[in-house]
Structures are given as C-alpha cells and as structure tokens.
Amino acid sequence: MRALICLLTIVCLSACQPMRPARLSPMPSLIPQPVSVERAPGSFTLHEGAVLNVRARNAEALRTARQFAARLARARGLHLDVRPLADADADGGIVFILDATHLIPGDRLDEGYELSVSPRRIRLVARTPHGLFNGSVTLWQLLTARMQSRHALDVPCLYIVDYPRFAWRGLMLDSARHFQSPEFVEKLIDEMSLHKLDVLHWHLTDDQGWRIQIKKYPELTAIGAWRTPAALHGGAPRYGGFYTQDEIRDIVRYAAARYITIVPEIEMPGHAQAAIAAYPQLGVSGKRPPVSPDWGVHTYLYNVEDSTFDFLENVLTEVMALFPGPYIHVGGDEAAKDQWQASAQVQRRMRELGISSTAALQGYFTARIGKFLAAHGRRLIGWDEILDGGVPASATVMSWRGEAGGVAAARQGHDVVMAPSPLMYFDHVQSALHEEPPGRPEVVSLADVYAYDPVPHGLDAAQAQHVLGAQANLWTEYMDTPQRIEHAAFPRAAALAEALWSPRSRRDWHDFLARLPQQFARYRALGIAFADSAFAPDIRAVAGKRSGTAEVTISNQARFGKIRYTLDGSAPELASSRYAAPLTVNLPATLRVGVFDGRGRELAATRTLALSGLSLLRMNSDELKSCNPGGGLPLRLSGPGKNGGEDVYRVDIFDPCWIYPHVDLEKVHAIDVVAGERTYNFQLWHDADKVVLRKPLSPGGELRVYLDACSGDALAWIPLAGAANADATARLHAVLPARTGTHDLCFTFDRATPSPLWMIDSVQLLPR
Ligand code: ACM
C-alpha cells in the first residue's frame, strides 16, 4: 500500500507540472485534520457547471454527490453538473468512485477515503458509501478553504489518505428540558456531518417533558409533553412540544443520509416524572405529579411491577421501529432511591425477587430491559450508574461522572463511550467573559476540549479497545434557543471532532487555531451562531495612577491573533493601533477592540467598552467575588434585563451572596445595586438543606450590606417590597454611614423561602 501511495503521489506530482520552481501552497484548513496530506505544486480550477461523475452503481454514492453539489452551491454559489454512472474521468471535473476492492490500510472502521487533486481533475475513491461521504466533506472543506471568487475555485494539488480513529463521534441533544423544532434538529445534524461526527444521542424523555409520540400511550405526549413553567407571578403559558412518529422517521432518514446514527434515549428508572404525570400507575405512590418545571435531581421513579415492564417494553417496541441503529439508551442516571426505599410495595417485590438493595433492584431493572432489547437484536447503553447494580456484559456504558465509570467498565469488558463531566458537558460556559450566555460557570474552554483524549489513563491496550469513542452533551436547561445551542456546540465540536477523528500524532493546538478562521468563515456561510469566545478580547480596566485615567489590559483566551484598538469610535482594523502592553487612557473613553489573524481576517467580533470614572467603580455579577469561593452551587442564570429583555446573572443558588472587595469607604458615600428576581426552580435532593435562608426583617425581604464578614450587624439594608417586578430589574440605592479604611462589602438577600431568588446584576459605588 505504501508503494501505491507513493505511486499516486508521483502521478499527482508529475501531472501538476509546475511552470516555475515548485512552490507548495499553504496547508489547507481542514477540520478534523486528515491522517495524511501530501501537497504537490500547482492547482486545479473548478469552474461553474463542471461535471461531477459518479462512478458507482449505488444510490447512496449518487445521493452523496448530489448533497455535496448542493452544499457547494449553498456555501459558494458554484453549481456542478452531477452525472451518474459516467465511465470516463472527465477533465476539468470531479469523479466520485465507490470501489469495494479499494482497501485503505489502517482503516479498521471502513470509513476511509482517498482524495487526489491534480490540475486535470479531482478524484475521490472510497470502499464504502460512508467513506465516500467522509471524503466529500473533506472536498467541500477544500473548496471552502478560501472564500474568494464565486465563479471558479482554485484547489491546490494534493493527495489525502484519511480514516477515523474512533467509531463513536457524538453529540447529545437534550430535547426534554427545552424542545427544538424538527428543522433545527436537522440543521444540527447537517452541522455535525460537516465535522464528520456520526452519532446523535437524542435525549427524548425526562422529568420536564416526554418528547416522542408513542401510539399505544397517547397521554405520554398529550400530558407528558407539556409543563407549566415556573414563574414568579403565575400566568406563564404552557411550554412543550413533541416529535410525531412521522417527524422522527424524517429526521432518522435525514441523519442516515449524512451517515449519522441516532441513538434514542428513554430514561429509566429515574428522570421519569413526565411519564408518571401522564400515567400515575407507573409511579411508586400512585399520585399524579405535574410535569416538572424544575431543574435538578427529582425523586419520581417507575415502580417495578410487571405491568410497568410491559409498558416500557411496548414503548421500546415503538422506539425500535423508529430508530434502526444498534443502540438504545435507557438512561439509568441519578435514580434517587428514596421512593423505592419508602414503598412497602416495592420492598415486598424486592423480597419476592430475592433482591436485598435498591442498587441491586436497579441492576435487575436494567438487566430485564437489556434482555428484552437483546431479544430484538438491539444493544443496551446507559449512563455509568448502570454499573452500580450489576449489569450484563453486553451493556455499553456511557461514562459521565468523570472517567472512573469508563475505566471500571472497560476493565470489566464492557464497551464504553466517554462523556465525562465537566469536559464533555457543553452546558458549561466557554470563557470567563461576562457576555457568556447562561450555563454552568466553570469554564470548559476550546483548548480544554482540544486537549481531551477519549482513552482514559489506566487502561491497557486490550481494555482501550473497548473505548468506542466519545461525545459532548448539550444539556438544555440553560439553552432555550437554537442560537444558544449552536453557541455552546461550535467551535468546541470542531475540537471534539479532531480528538475523535485524527491520529494523536496529527493533533496540534496551534495548528488547529490557525485553521479555525476558515472554519468560522464556513460557519458564517451556513448561518451557524458559533462562539468566538476563544479569541474574543477580554478587556479589564482599573483606575490609572494619574487621576482621570484608566489602566487597561486586553488579552484573549487562546492568546492567538493580533489585538487592535481604537479610541475614536471607529471600527478597529488590522492597521489600527496594536495592543502590546497595558494602556493608560484618559477618561471618559470609548475603547473598541478587534482581534485579527495574520491575513487580516477578523477572529472575533469587535467589542466596545465605555470607560468613565463611574465605570471603574462598578462590578457585574461575574466580577463580584462569591462568598463561598470554590463551593456552593454557582450558576449563570437568566433574569430580567435592564431595558426589558433578559440579563445573565452569576449566582450561587445555595447561598446568593456577593463581595465587592477593597472598597475605600472614605471615598464612597452610597451604592446603587441593580438586581433582578426569578423563581427558584431547582430540585436539590439531599443537598436541599445546604440552601442558606436569612430571616427577613420586613415582609418582602431586603438586601443587606455588611462590612467584611457576611454576618453581624448590617451596614445598610434596603427593603425589596417596592422593588419586586419579575419583568424588570430593580435599582436599589443606599447611603452608607461614614466609615474609615478599605473594606470588603458583602451583599446578601434576606428571604424566608428559596423563591423568589434575588440576584445581583451589578454594584455601582458612588463617590463622595
Ligand atoms: C447526567 O448528566 N445526569 C447524565
């Protein structure tokens, strides 16, 4: 094979006939990085109307060719003439060849391809339709490697041999916490396929909604798909939705045409509150709960009667008819056992079954469902808790509580999919910037994801073979729009794709960064609301040494690109002033900052910061310090916005308490606090007793301001009664009593119950 590669390379090299001494074009911006790319001098020019020959008696190959042509037309406005079954390699065109005898050494998954570009033609060869599709994605990237002319595209001569490292290259989409339209699910599938991701794990049922039509049990969607959102003053419209079986069939077909397998998840025995709301006889108490409007760990479990297994098997029968893939995900996570422990009926059933613990009962539950799936030719996959109660060897384990579950499972001979929290939890924010959308505040940066290796330490070579791959999870408690999902997914999914596809030896963070601007251009062409957090300027200002000035530092997370700024209100460009060291600026000032790559392409959207004497005495909720650093349960939550709309607040939901450090009280006489309230919709299970409540002094509660320690006598307190208005922020003003020296100011809200949750947006110190 090595000889064949050389031969093909030589053919390409000699065909390229450089006019001048050979000069290689830059490496093309491909993501994920192929196994091998050999460049040759010269280039191929693709013209409008060029022929795309499909040399295969195979409908899938033709479909891939047509899809590729449509994608090219969409991104570049250039149209190809797709011709099935033409047997000549036309000059000036592209040929796709499906050849079952064409082996690619090293391609153990049969998903590989070879792609050669010579001045006469582009030739893509694969052994399988999936391989051909993968090659067409690489070719599409080559043809979108620069977004210059629309009428003819130059592609440098090269020869690529490529195949994936892992079979399971996935994203998980949570459609239960928030529902996405079928159109968006298909858009995400399209976006995944352009990263050569090939598994969509679809989280379809949970406490907050049942999203898949099951014909035998219509109440699952008539009742279970709809919830009344938690709202402070009631009156919120019902929220929900579900996918009909026709819509699911369309989505499955759409995914299959892009070589993406959908793994449906039907949660059991926990995360079952929506199902029990629809059919209370499935639950332990027999009572009908609401479909939950809350986030967190709920305690509703299915009971363990035969009738409930009949229900689950009937549901799974309809699920299997819709999803043809080998895996069915049955959840298994966070099944709080309180209800099983408290139920005489469940305890009696355990005695009948000879089961001595509720953990073992979950094992029995999973094994029984696993047997049913196996009898129908399917494989059970579940979150790593399924290991706790003992599980059949044929079960595949999805490791989420870190990597330990994956390591234990692989050592026991289970296949494993890695999805460890927090690295693979894309509901974490991507940077420390205040503009980040709601989510979990511990940063999972692009660099963190890029550095991830799916094979955990501690496995020997045979055990490592059990690692099928990895996936990132898009939990949607805090992502209520398609834009927020895309922002969370991209470009981190590009980093994940490279971790899952490319050989370790081909992975290089700085090279990846250099390829990203072009990926961003593709995202723009496709209308993907990606995050530029890795490159975005992080602008920090403090009072300057001279009065009336500020000292400004600017950085970006990836430490990549050229930072340029203006102070005259104009948009920064590559020729604008270069940021090299902290700046001293006269106040007031409007600083506009851009970040560019070496070719002048914008890496991040321009950020603008208005600086004044007052702005230096203001901190937002991300700048204020937490009263429990490293502890509590901090979240970035949405709440009312200053001008209507919505703001994002960082708040510890165990103890909403913030510190403004080092305030010179001789210079400050009053404070303005902007705050908002929202309902407290968190179920904390055994952590509920960690929620700190402070006895209010007045009926509506109050904001208290302390000096230094967050207890004792308050320096000031501001009643909230007149301020409450869930649709708008409140401005809370207090004059501070005269004090000397520099102190921390601590802010807490007095409240008798967790709801409403008051949150600080910002604290403005007002000078004397
Ligand atoms: C999970 O995050 N509960 C799997």
Q: How far is the CA of 375 from the centre of ligand 1 (A)?
A: 27
Q: Using the 8-state DSSP alphabet, how is residue 607 labeled?
A: E
* Ligand 1 atom at minimum distance from 425 CA: 2
14 pLDDT more than 50: no
Residue among 172, 400, 417, 444 to mutate when testing ligand 1 (max atoms within 8 A of CB): 400
Say what the pLDDT of residue 9 is.
40
Average pLDDT rounded to a whole number, residues 486-515: 97
Q: What is the pLDDT of residues 662-688, one digit of tens each?
A: 999 999 999 999 999 999 999 999 999
Q: What is the pLDDT of residues 594-642, one digit of tens each?
A: 999 988 889 999 999 999 999 999 999 999 999 999 899 999 999 999 8
Non-local CB neighbours of 485 within 8 Å, separated by 6+ positions: 173, 180, 184, 188, 474, 476, 479
Annotate 484-518 with b (16+ C-beta within 10 A) or e (fewer).
bbbbbbbbbbbbbbbbbbbeeebbeeeebbbbbbb
Choosing from 111, 198, 206, 403, the catalytic residue is 206
Q: Does residue 400 line the site of ligand 1, with CB under 6 A?
A: yes
CA atoms within 13 A on the CB side of 499: 29
* Average predicted confidence (pLDDT) for the chain: 94
Strands 199-203 and 261-265: parallel
Say what the pLDDT of residue 477 is.
98
Q: How far is the CA of 442 from the centre of ligand 1 (A)?
A: 17
Q: Is 106 left (phi over 0), alpha (psi -120 to 50) or beta?
A: left
- For residue 762, give the H/E element and its range: strand 757-767
Q: What is the pLDDT of residues 118-171, one digit of tens each?
A: 999 999 999 999 999 999 999 999 999 876 556 678 899 999 999 999 999 999
Residue for token pair 């992502």: 479
Q: How far is the CA of 441 from the centre of ligand 1 (A)?
A: 17
Phi, psi for residue 151 in degrees, rounded to 5: -100, -20
Strands (E), 567-601: 577-578, 583-586, 589-596
Q: What is the pLDDT of residues 166-206, one digit of tens each?
A: 999 999 999 999 999 999 999 999 999 999 999 999 999 99
Strands (E), 402-548: 416-418, 467-474, 538-543
Cis peptide before 422 (omega within 30 of 0): yes
Which candidate, 103, 98, 88, places its Cα nearest to that of 5? 103
Which residue lies with its CA nearest to atom 3 of ligand 1? 333
Non-local CB neighbours of 83 within 8 Å, separated by 6+ positions: 51, 52, 53, 54
Q: Does residue 532 line the site of ligand 1, with CB under 6 A?
A: no
Say what the pLDDT of residue 13 is.
41
Tokens describing residue 493: 């999914």
Q: Does residue 425 line the site of ligand 1, with CB under 6 A?
A: no
Q: How far is the CA of 331 from the centre of ligand 1 (A)?
A: 9
Q: Which ranges in 376-508 belong to alpha helices (H)? A: 404-411, 446-451, 461-464, 482-489, 492-501
Q: How far is the CA of 448 from the centre of ligand 1 (A)?
A: 20
Residue among 207, 263, 265, 383 to mutate when testing ligand 1 (max atoms within 8 A of CB): 383
Per the annotation, the verdict on 79 as an active-site residue is no
Say what the pLDDT of residue 234 is.
76
Q: Does residue 333 line the site of ligand 1, with CB under 6 A?
A: yes
More confident residue, 238 or 18: 238
Say what the pLDDT of residue 24 is.
78
Choosing from 191, 198, 265, 334, the catalytic residue is 334
Q: How far is the CA of 400 from the centre of ligand 1 (A)?
A: 6
Say what the pLDDT of residue 89 is.
64
Residue among 330, 334, 384, 403 to mutate when testing ligand 1 (max atoms within 8 A of CB): 334
Say what the pLDDT of residue 17 is.
43
Environment class of residue 169 by beta-carbon count within 10 Å: exposed (0-12), middle (13-18) or buried (19+)? Answer: buried
Q: Does residue 383 line the site of ligand 1, with CB under 6 A?
A: yes
Which candidate, 654, 662, 658, places its Cα nearest to that of 703? 658
In the chain, the amino acid numbered 620 is N
Which residue lies with its CA nearest to atom 2 of ligand 1? 400
Q: What is the pLDDT of residues 417-459, one digit of tens each?
A: 999 999 999 999 999 999 999 999 999 999 999 999 999 999 9
Q: Does residue 226 line the site of ligand 1, with CB under 6 A?
A: no
Choosing from 195, 271, 428, 487, the catalytic residue is 271
Average pLDDT rounded to a whole number, residues 510-514: 96
* Ligand 1 atom at minimum distance from 400 CA: 4
Q: What is the pLDDT of residues 238-265, one digit of tens each?
A: 999 999 999 999 999 999 999 999 999 9
Which residue lies with its CA nearest to atom 1 of ligand 1? 333
* Ligand 1 atom at minimum distance from 421 CA: 2
Q: Using the 8-state DSSP alphabet, how is residue 452 labeled?
A: -
Q: Does residue 602 line the site of ligand 1, with CB under 6 A?
A: no
Q: Does residue 318 line the site of ligand 1, with CB under 6 A?
A: no
How open is the CA angle 536-661-719, to the nearest 5 degrees? Answer: 105
Q: Does residue 267 line the site of ligand 1, with CB under 6 A?
A: no
SS (H, E, C) 48-97: CCCEEEEECCCHHHHHHHHHHHHHHHHHHCCCCEEEECCCCCCCCCEEEE
Q: How far is the CA of 10 from the centre of ligand 1 (A)?
A: 52
Residue among 271, 295, 333, 440 to mutate when testing ligand 1 (max atoms within 8 A of CB): 333
Non-local CB neighbours of 511 within 8 Å, separated by 6+ positions: 27, 33
Q: Does residue 296 line the site of ligand 1, with CB under 6 A?
A: no
Q: For the chain, which domains are there?
A: 2-162 (3.30.379.10), 168-526 (3.20.20.80), 538-613 (2.60.40.10), 617-767 (2.60.120.260)
Q: How far is the CA of 155 from the centre of ligand 1 (A)?
A: 44
Say what the pLDDT of residue 231 is.
82
Say what the pLDDT of residue 87 is.
59
* Ligand 1 atom at minimum distance from 383 CA: 4
* Ligand 1 atom at minimum distance from 475 CA: 2
Say what the pLDDT of residue 599 is.
85
Q: Does residue 259 line the site of ligand 1, with CB under 6 A?
A: no
Strands 168-174 and 199-203: parallel
Q: What is the pLDDT of residues 92-124, one digit of tens each?
A: 799 999 999 999 999 999 999 999 999 999 999
Per the annotation, the verdict on 538 as an active-site residue is no
Q: What is the pLDDT of residues 333-388, one digit of tens each?
A: 999 999 999 999 999 999 999 999 999 999 999 999 999 999 999 999 999 999 99
Per the annotation, the verdict on 206 as an active-site residue is yes
Query: Where residue 4 falls among pLDDT bands split at 50, 70, 90?
Result: very low
Query: Could you give the percent of the chain with pLDDT greater than 90?
Result: 87
Say what the pLDDT of residue 551 is.
98
